[in-house]
């Protein structure tokens, strides 16, 4: 005969309704930290972590890239290759960093993605009449961002973005080019609230406008 | 770089702020002076970009929008804050296209009305619907979790027992829908979410129909997703409860395989194959390991002719239930099918930053993946440090021990034990957690004869002998689901980790401990975000057992570093 120890597995009877009612809780910026975890796993070569990262960011990065790529590149974008490749490359090549400083990590990822997305855009631009895409008349066509602003203004915008402080650029990319909510922007930028994020974006936009204006003046 | 005086100009800031919100600026009211004209001109350019990229709005009606959850064919689903209720909700906003404006609005209001008629734990709960201008917003319960579509894509197919459990919950949902004389019309993996905590939630009634208000008419092009649509519906017959059951059958097939019985990319393709009675992909070909009874249930649910199907969702549920009742559902889930392995390995690297790492003196050491992640490319250097480990939970009945598979039922009074064997000396920790997040440390406990590290090469029964007496655990009360998480490692944990395990409530022979939620700290540290999250409060419904989803296999595994597996048992108490 064996003795038994009583282990209370479960406390109260489960009542479907009471149990499943979503608990009220404050709005919490999503994912900022869990992402670090995923990135680390992705670096360790874990397929699932990569999958999850794609699931989480693909749509947004696609949107970002979409805005910056000429129509010819969009075919490639639809096949997911560009975004996927970019993500894999960025996350796989992360240098080691100290997880106690998520800020440094964040800036690194943003900057790397910024460069990666613009490299893609430039690559497609450069494929002029002699490039492999020359059959496509639209190879040099304007990207949606370019189209929204006009070629000349976009050139100023892009050059000005390059000169901004990284945190201003991140704010604009996250809100304007990726279309994240202000709550998400707060998480991405490490701001304390949506209102703070909105303020950061607004100020960044002003600095961007000033930078753009700079480029315009001498030509007057 | 210093901010120029302009950066503080309140008029400019107000314009920039409007642009950042994604709202149109009324330029006619913006005062201009020579100082600011150029900058305003540039802001105007930027406004164009902002509107072209349509950023997530800050608010819709009374709701503060916090993010985007999903995008469907008819609208966007946001997460949003309802400040009146103090509740985060899901807000589905339907924006009618240029054509068919009225149709889309009617469809959206119809969806809300159908949802409002159903009050069931497995159907998404609707709070309200509102129309603002040309848009309709449906405020719903926010389901924290993933769609079944996402889960299959990311983790591979479900095991038979998991599929059975999900299938049963869906049957209950569909029975409630049909009971209210409604049709769902679009049951598919994309329209079902699995909440953290395991609850299955049916949503998206956009293609639904109320049989009470009008009989379902035949549609040449019935709404719904072709691969899930019953053959008779594709051929133009009206939708019925039997066509919902067909969709359920296809969904079960998909959960167990990641594929569908019928191939075809377009609606016409699929319709043609049905018409020609083309041979279907067979469940037993894709998953020969599945129990025959399960295969027959799925085949019957998705039978070509409606009269061959289960006639009601309840009937299908009964068939599934019979299988889950079976003590020994043969469920040799091959580990490769569930590719989500080794969360702790990465978790511990993160934990290092917060002063929690398993190895007291190896900062930054990255444990290699276990070979359990067999589908993923093998880790670079398996070999030297790998070890074999096998573990199982048992229920004791009339002197016999029945090995428990994931999803097996337990009930108050049942006696349970655990066995583990490893090829190297191993440090083992066993934690029990229920759906509410209340947890106990089951091993190691003071007074237990066994102590870490467990010697290699022998099967160790846990709890084993405690204070000179051979002991089992006994289930003392019912409570939904029980998760068991097993940690094993050839290396001892750091004192910080050890302390955290020891801080969990511990059962003692003959006495039930006061249940206590798992300390948020432990969950946080174990999940690998220790010390990084400012407020480590665990969101409701987020359990440790969900951080560690790799199921306990029923075979030996080769592992490296820390091996974490979990087993979920049903303890509904009926
Ligand atoms: N209540 C909810 N809670 C959480 N996520 C949701 C909820 N409703 C919808 N979603 C997400 O949004 C996606 C689209 O929602 P759905 O209702 O299916 O819209 P559609 O009719 O456009 O297909 C879902 O697949 C899911 O990911
Ligand atoms: Mg849907």
pLDDT tens by residue, B190-206: 999 999 888 999 999 99
Chain A CB contacts of B396 under 8 Å are: 2
The DSSP line for B232-293 is: HHHTTPPP-HHHHHHHHHHHHHHHHHSS-SS--SSHHHHHHHHHTTPPPPPHHHH-TTS-HH
> Which member of A4, A40, A176 has the closest CB to residue B474?
A4
**Are A79 and A93 in the same domain?**
yes
Contact B85 A24 (CB under 8 A): yes
- Domain containing A106 — which CATH number? 1.10.1740
Considering the domain boundaries, does residue A206 fall inside one?
yes
User: Mean of the pLDDT values across residues B261-275?
Assistant: 88
Closest residue CA from atom 12 of ligand 1: B70
Higher pLDDT, B116 or A70: B116
Q: Do both B382 and B302 map to the same domain?
A: no
My answer on whether B37 and B65 are in the same domain is no
Same domain, A135 and A70: yes
- pLDDT at B174 exceeding the cut of 90: yes
Distance of alpha carbon B321 from alpha carbon B473, whole angstroms: 26
Q: Which of B288, B335, B352, B316 is nearest to B531 (CA)?
A: B352
| C-alpha to C-alpha distances, A36 to A42, A98, B200, nearest whole angstrom | 10, 11, 28
- pLDDT at position B544 over 90: no
Give CB contacts under 8 A, 24+ apart, made by B128-136.
Answer: B130/B61, B131/B105, B132/B60, B132/B61, B134/B95, B134/B96, B134/B101, B134/B105, B135/B60, B135/B93, B135/B94, B135/B95, B135/B96, B136/B93, B136/B94, B136/B105, B136/B108, B136/B109, B136/B112
Where does a domain end: A129, A145, A161? A145
Is A12 inside any structural domain? no
Closest residue of B to A40, CA-based?
A: B346
Alpha-carbon distance of B258 to B338, in angstroms, equals 12
Q: How confident is the model at residue B250 (pLDDT cuts 50, 70, 90)?
A: very high
**Judgement on whether residues A34 and A137 belong to the same structural domain of the protein:** yes
Give B195's contacts in chain A (Cβ within 8 Å). 20
Distance (angstroms) between ligand 1 centre and the Cα of B34 equals 50
In this predicted structure, what is the pLDDT of residue B507?
Answer: 62
pLDDT in tens, B219-238: 767 778 899 999 999 998 99
What pLDDT sits at residue B495?
66
User: Are B153 and A102 a contacting pair at CB < 8 A?
Assistant: no
Residue A11 lies inside a defined structural domain of this protein: no
* Same domain, residue pair A129 and A156: no
How does DSSP classify residue B49?
H
Q: Could you tell me how many CB contacts below 8 A there are between chain A and chain B?
A: 294
Domain limits for position A186 = 150-220
∠ CA B324-B327-B333, rounded to 5°:
70
Q: Are residues B45 and B66 in the same domain?
A: no
Contact B372/B341 with Cβ under 8 angstroms?
Answer: yes
Are A141 and A178 in the same domain?
Answer: no
Same domain, yes or no, for B133 and B149?
no
Q: What is the CATH number of the domain that holds A207?
A: 1.10.10.10
Range of lowest pLDDT (A165-174, B10-19, B136-145, B321-330): B321-330
Concatenate the DSSP letters of all residues of B100-130 into one string: THHHHHHHHHHHHHHHHT---TTB--EEEEE
B179 pLDDT higher than 50:
yes
Rounded distance from Cα B543 to ligand 2 centre (Å): 27
| Exposure b/e, A41-50, CB count within 10 A at least 16 = b | bbbbbbbbbb
DSSP letter string over B144-194? Answer: -EEEHHHHHHHH-PPPHHHHHHHHHHHHHHHHHHHHTTEE----SGGGEEE
Cα–Cα distance, B485 to B569 (Å, whole number): 12
CA B62 – CA B57 distance, rounded (Å): 12
Q: Does residue A115 sit within a domain?
A: yes
Residue B549 has pLDDT above 70, yes or no: no
pLDDT of residue A35: 59
In terms of domains, do B73 and B13 share one?
no
CB of B78 closer than 6 angstroms to any ligand 1 atom: no
Residue-averaged pLDDT of chain A: 67
Q: What is the mean pLDDT of residues B49-67?
A: 87
> What is the count of structural domains for chain A?
2
Do A155 and A137 have their domain in common? no
Q: What Å distances lie between residue B165 and A209, B152, B298, B434, CA to CA?
A: 57, 15, 13, 17
Confidence category of residue B512, pLDDT binned at 50, 70, 90:
very low
Query: What spacing in Å lies between the alpha carbon of B94 and ligand 2's midpoint?
Result: 12
Complex ipTM over 0.85: no
Confidence band (pLDDT; 50, 70, 90) for A103?
A: low
Contacts (Cβ under 8 Å, ≥6 apart) of A81: none
Of B184, B164, B189, B161, nearest in space to B173 by CA: B184
Same domain, B294 and B234: yes
Q: Look at residue B180 and tell me whether its pLDDT is greater than 90.
A: yes
- B29 and B71 fall within a common domain: no
Widest pairwise Cα distance in chain A: 98
In a domain, A158, yes or no: yes
Q: Which domain holds residue B501?
A: 353-570
Confidence check: pLDDT of B535 > 80: no
Same domain, A122 and A214: no
Same domain, A113 and A171: no
Task: Give yes or no: residues A40 and A139 share one domain.
Answer: yes
- Residue B206 CA, closest ligand 1 atom number: 21
Q: Tell whether A128 and A99 lie within a shared domain.
A: yes
Q: What was the pLDDT predicted at B328?
A: 38
Please tell me the total count of domains within chain B: 4
Select from A145, A176, A191 the last residue of a domain: A145
Q: Assess whether B37 and B66 both reside in one domain.
A: no
B328 conformational bin, left if phi > 0, alpha if psi -120 to 50, beta if neither: beta
Task: Flag whether B335 is in a domain.
Answer: no
Q: Which SS3 state, helix, strand or coil, does residue A48 take?
A: helix
User: Is A193 inside any structural domain?
Assistant: yes
């Amino acid at each position: 005969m064996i003795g038994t120890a009583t282990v209370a597995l479960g406390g109260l009877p489960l009542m479907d309704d009471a149990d499943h009612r979503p608990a009220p809780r404050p709005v919490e910026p999503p994912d900022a930290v869990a992402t670090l975890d995923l990135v680390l796993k992705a670096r360790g070569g874990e397929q699932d972590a990569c999958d999850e990262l794609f699931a989480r960011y693909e749509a947004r990065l696609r949107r970002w890239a979409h805005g910056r790529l000429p129509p010819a590149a969009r075919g490639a974008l639809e096949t997911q290759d560009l975004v996927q490749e970019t993500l894999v490359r960025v996350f796989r090549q992360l240098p080691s960093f100290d997880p106690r400083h998520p800020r440094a990590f964040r800036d690194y990822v943003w900057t790397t993605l910024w460069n990666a997305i613009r490299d893609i855009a430039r690559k497609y631009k450069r494929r002029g009449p002699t490039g492999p895409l020359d059959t496509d008349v639209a190879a040099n066509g304007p990207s949606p961002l370019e189209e929204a602003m006009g070629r000349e203004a976009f050139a100023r915008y892009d050059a000005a973005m390059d000169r901004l402080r990284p945190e201003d650029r991140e704010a604009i990319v996250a809100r304007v080019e990726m279309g994240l909510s202000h709550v998400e922007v707060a998480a991405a930028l490490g701001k304390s609230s949506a209102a703070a994020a909105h303020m950061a974006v607004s100020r960044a936009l002003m600095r961007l406008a000033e930078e753009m204006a700079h480029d315009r003046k001498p030509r007057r | 770089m210093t901010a120029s005086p302009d950066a503080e100009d309140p008029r400019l800031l107000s314009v920039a702020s409007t642009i950042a919100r994604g709202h149109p600026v009324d330029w006619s009211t913006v005062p201009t002076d020579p100082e600011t004209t150029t900058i305003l001109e540039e802001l105007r350019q930027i406004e164009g970009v902002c509107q072209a990229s349509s950023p997530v709005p800050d608010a819709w009606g009374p709701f503060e929008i916090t993010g985007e959850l999903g995008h469907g064919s008819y609208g966007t689903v946001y997460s949003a804050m309802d400040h009146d209720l103090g509740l985060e909700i899901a807000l589905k906003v339907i924006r009618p296209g240029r054509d068919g404006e009225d149709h889309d609005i009617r469809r959206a209001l119809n969806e809300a009305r159908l949802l409002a008629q159903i009050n069931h734990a497995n159907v998404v709960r609707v709070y309200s619907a509102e129309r603002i201008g040309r848009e309709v917003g449906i405020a719903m319960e926010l389901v924290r979790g993933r769609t079944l579509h996402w889960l299959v894509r990311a983790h591979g197919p479900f095991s038979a027992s998991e599929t059975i459990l999900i299938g049963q919950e869906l049957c209950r949902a569909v029975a409630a829908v049909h009971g209210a004389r409604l049709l769902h019309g679009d049951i598919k993996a994309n329209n079902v979410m699995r909440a953290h905590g395991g609850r299955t939630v049916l949503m998206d009634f956009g293609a639904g129909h109320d049989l009470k208000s009008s009989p379902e008419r035949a549609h040449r092009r019935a709404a719904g997703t072709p691969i899930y649509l019953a053959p008779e519906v594709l051929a133009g017959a009206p939708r019925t409860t039997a066509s919902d059951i067909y969709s359920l059958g296809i969904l079960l097939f998909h959960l167990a395989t990641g594929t569908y019985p019928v191939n075809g990319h377009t609606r016409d393709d699929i319709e043609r194959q049905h018409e020609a009675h083309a041979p279907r992909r067979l469940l037993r070909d894709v998953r020969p390991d599945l129990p025959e009874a399960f295969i027959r249930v799925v085949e019957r649910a998705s039978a070509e002719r409606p009269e061959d199907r289960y006639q009601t969702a309840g009937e299908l549920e009964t068939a599934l239930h019979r299988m889950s009742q079976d003590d020994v559902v043969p469920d040799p889930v091959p580990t490769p099918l569930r590719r989500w392995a080794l969360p702790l390995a990465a978790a511990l690297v993160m934990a290092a930053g917060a002063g929690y790492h398993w190895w007291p003196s190896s900062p930054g050491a990255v444990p290699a993946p276990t070979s359990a992640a067999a589908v993923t490319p093998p880790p670079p250097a398996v070999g030297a440090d790998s070890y074999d480990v096998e573990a199982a939970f048992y229920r004791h009945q009339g002197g016999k021990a029945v090995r428990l598979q994931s999803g097996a039922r337990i009930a108050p009074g049942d006696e349970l034990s655990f066995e583990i064997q490893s090829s190297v000396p191993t440090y083992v920790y066993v934690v029990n957690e229920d759906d509410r997040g209340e947890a106990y440390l089951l091993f190691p406990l003071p007074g237990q004869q066994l102590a870490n590290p467990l010697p290699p090469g022998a099967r160790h029964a846990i709890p084993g002998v405690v204070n000179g007496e051979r002991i089992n655990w006994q289930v003392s009360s019912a409570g939904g689901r029980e998760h068991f998480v097993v940690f094993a490692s050839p290396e001892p944990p750091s004192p910080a980790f050890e302390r955290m395990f020891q801080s969990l409530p511990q059962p003692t022979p003959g006495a039930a401990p006061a249940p206590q939620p798992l300390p948020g700290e432990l969950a946080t540290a174990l999940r690998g975000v220790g010390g990084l999250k400012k407020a480590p409060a665990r969101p409701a419904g987020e359990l440790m057992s969900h951080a560690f989803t790799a199921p306990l296999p029923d075979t030996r595994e080769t592992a490296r570093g820390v091996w974490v597996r979990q087993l979920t048992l049903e303890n509904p108490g009926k």
